[in-house]
Amino acid sequence: MKNTKKTLIAAAALTAFGFSSAYAAQAVIPSAPAGVTLVEVVRELPLSQPEFLWMRPGDANGRTLFVSAADTAGVSKCNAECAKEWIPLAVLPGAKGFGDWSVIKRADGASQWAYKTLPLYTWVKEEVPGDVATTVGVTEVANSKLAENAVRLGTLTPPDGWTVARFEPTMAAATPDGVDMRMIPGAQGMGLTDYAGMTIYAYDGDAKKDGQVCSSSGCNITWIPVTAPALAANVGEFTLVARTDGTKQWAFQKKPLYRYKGDKLPGDANGIGADKKFTAAVMMSNFRPEGVAVAFHEGYGQALTINGQALYTGNAYEARWGGRNLRDNYRNAYYRGKKLGGNTCLSAECLARWKPFVAPANAVANGFWEVISREDGTKQWAYKGYALYTFTGDKPGQINGSDTYDIANDGDDADTIKRASLLVEVNGRAGVYWHIAKP
């Protein structure tokens, strides 16, 4: 039996910490607007997990988004004829711009999303969502001297004047050397990290009253100050705190900054909930359906949950060097999940064990979350391209369904043959590997 060590209530981190005067009216802004997805572009390798390249925005179905060299800040030069091939990214009714996202008006009066002032488009020639972005990403590293060669590369690339849009959020405040802003999966948002990508936390207590977080009593074993060089000077809203041991520490908006010893890898945010005075320094929050949180499982790392129940994805039945249970050794190609859709689990036998994570009829894709339609007409949530399920053999805090295999039945009915054929096409074998959904 696998029990949850702790549950990370990431929502607390997404509302308590305010960043920079540019975002003063809204402590934490969304990573992406409703109807816009975020997709990890990866390079598939023959026997290792896919290599992460960069992140991109997509439309509600995950299609690659493009910007045009002909456009200027906030102005689309793509006329009606151009828009037949390059479809402007439409804005949902009532949506407003924020951060790097802005709404522009086209010549025909329609609204269009722009990212960092440049209008966004999809391309009618892209048949597989994200195929162009993947081709561009893999091409960029095709000549790098790695032990393995890429195993998937399409042929469609953007014509001259068109570029794949990349998700590279603007930090709305100058940062000192050694402090960065990255996606923190455990905190479900973009936040401050150190040079190694480890999550930074803000101390919300009274530093003077608490003795600089017990600097003389040894509690810095748990909360490690983000130290600054002896000759460092203030940088924007980052200021220096003189500690009683003579060292200097960075603070942001007068809140001293720390790392948490319980975080083992970049992207961990195990300090959330460990002490109410410490808050993950998140400035952009990722969308999550109601009830979704992040839990930590000893030996397995972080996993998504819904109301305390572990969420799972059905994935490629394949071999990988080092296995797939190692910490931070579980990443999958987006297009495989998209191709599987809701077909990972269809039969009554399968659905008796695996329950689809049902999405409301009016649910809208946002960030890493998409909405897929099942054969019975119901809607299901998908995360990073893969449909999500709960396991009937779990109680809250358990992950008994992880690392299990589902081999397609050898039946000769049309539905069984169809599903087995799809699994072979997508996974290479007529089977599914079930794994906890990694944030």
Could you read off the pLDDT of 358-408 as tens digits, one per residue?
999 999 999 999 999 998 999 999 999 999 999 999 999 999 999 898 887
pLDDT in tens, 108-162: 999 999 999 999 999 999 999 999 999 999 888 866 555 445 455 667 899 999 9
Q: Taking the mean position of all CA atoms in its chain, how far away is CA 183?
A: 7
241: helix, strand or coil? strand
Quick one: 79 and 100 in the same domain? yes
Do 331 and 278 share a structural domain?
A: no
Per-residue pLDDT, 7: 45
Q: Is residue 112 exposed (0-12), middle (13-18) or buried (19+ Cβ within 10 Å)?
A: buried
Which amino acid is present at 181?
M
Question: Which residue range is the domain that position 192 belongs to?
Answer: 4-30+171-285
Judged on CB neighbours under 10 Å (0-12, 13-18, 19+), 160 is: exposed
pLDDT recorded at residue 211: 52
In a shared domain, residues 424 and 355? yes
Q: Which amino acid is at 427?
A: N
pTM of the model: 0.88
Q: Are 187 and 282 in contact (CB under 8 A)?
A: yes
In this structure, the answer to whether residues 296 and 429 fall within a common structural domain is yes
CA dist list (Å): 200 to 104, 212, 296: 35, 16, 18
Q: For the chain, how many structural domains are there in total? A: 3
Considering the domain architecture, whether residues 296 and 395 belong to the same structural domain is answered as yes
Domain edge (last residue) among 234, 262, 285: 285
Residue 348's pLDDT band (cuts 50, 70, 90): confident
Question: Rounded to whole angstroms, how far apart are CA atoms 208 and 223?
Answer: 16
How is residue 82 written in tokens? 């151009």
Q: Of 133, 164, 195, which closes a domain?
A: 164
Task: Verify that 143 and 241 share a domain, yes or no.
Answer: no
Domain co-membership, 244 together with 375: no
309 and 416 belong to one structural domain = yes
Tell me how many degrees the CA angle 12-166-43 measures, rounded to the nearest 5.
Answer: 95
pLDDT value at residue 222: 85
* Per-residue tokens: 113: 């999303």
Whether residues 271 and 299 share a domain: the answer is no
pLDDT greater than 80 at residue 21: no
Mean local confidence (pLDDT), 320-324: 63
Q: Are residues 251 and 192 in the same domain?
A: yes
Cα 374–Cα 375–Cα 377 angle in degrees, nearest 5: 70
Tokens of 30: 């969304």
Last residue of a domain, which of 112, 143, 164? 164
Looking at the fold, whether 297 and 430 belong to one and the same domain comes out as yes
**Which residues are within 8 A (CB) of 75 and not within 5 positions of it... i.e. 6 or more apart?**
104, 119
- Among all chains, which residue has been given the structure tokens 């320094």? 281
User: Measured between alpha carbons, how far is residue 303 from residues 50, 285, 288 in Å?
Assistant: 19, 17, 13
Same domain, 322 and 394: yes
Instruction: Return the H-helix or E-strand segment holding 380.
Output: strand 379-383
